[in-house]
Each structure stands twice: as structure tokens, then as C-alpha cells.
């Protein structure tokens, strides 16, 4: 008798693996300025357009200068310059934000 594939592999073989990984991310701005106490929005674009997981994680290199929400809204906290990073699937895009 021939060896059988584990059930999971059998199901993947029948159903196919429909997951499409994100291969990149870009931001609509690479530089921007914001006033202390004000906000700007960074919009991320994930490629390919049919990627299964399109959730981008935003981070600020210095939360004391500007914070960033997970929807890409950047809030200026104090004067300075900070890099905001958008990441997905190991791919990143950055924007340099000047807080005035």
C-alpha cells in the first residue's frame, strides 16, 4: 500500500492554497510636515492588490516626536523629525515626518 499524505496536505491539494502573500507596501507620502497637536494621514498601498492579508503595521521611531495610529494617522507631539514605518510580511516603506 502506498503511503498516504497527512490529512492537511490532502485537503490543501484538493482545495488549493488560496493565500496570496503581500509582496510589498508603499506610502502615499515619503516626507511630510505636521504642526504640534495636529494630524496627517499616511495611506499605505499593499501589493499585489489581491493579497490575502492587507493589514499594515505602523510604527514611529520616536513616539515623543510623533505617534502613529494603526490606520496611519500621525500626530505631532513635539518639534523634531521622525521616521514612520509601514510594514507587512517583512516588507517596509518609510516616511520622514517633520513636526513643527
For the cut 60, the answer to whether the pLDDT of residue 94 exceeds it is yes
Please give the mean pLDDT across all residues of the chain.
90
pTM for this model (two decimals):
0.82
For the cut 70, the answer to whether the pLDDT of residue 11 exceeds it is no
What topology does CATH give the domain 22-99? Answer: Immunoglobulin-like (2.60.40)
| Ranges of each domain in the chain | 22-99
For the cut 60, the answer to whether the pLDDT of residue 17 exceeds it is yes
Grid cell for residue 43:
495611506
| Alpha-helical regions (H) of 39-88 | none
Res. 16 pLDDT band, cuts 50 70 90: low
Amino acid at each position: 500500500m502506498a503511503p498516504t499524505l497527512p490529512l492537511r496536505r490532502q485537503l490543501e491539494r484538493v482545495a488549493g492554497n488560496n493565500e496570496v502573500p503581500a509582496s510589498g507596501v508603499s506610502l502615499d507620502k515619503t516626507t511630510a510636515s505636521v504642526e504640534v497637536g495636529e494630524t496627517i494621514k499616511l495611506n499605505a498601498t499593499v501589493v499585489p492588490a489581491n493579497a490575502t492579508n492587507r493589514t499594515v503595521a505602523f510604527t514611529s521611531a520616536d513616539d515623543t516626536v510623533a505617534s502613529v495610529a494603526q490606520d496611519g494617522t500621525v500626530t505631532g507631539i513635539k518639534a523634531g523629525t521622525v521616521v514612520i514605518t509601514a510594514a507587512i510580511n517583512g516588507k517596509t516603506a518609510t516616511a520622514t515626518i517633520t513636526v513643527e
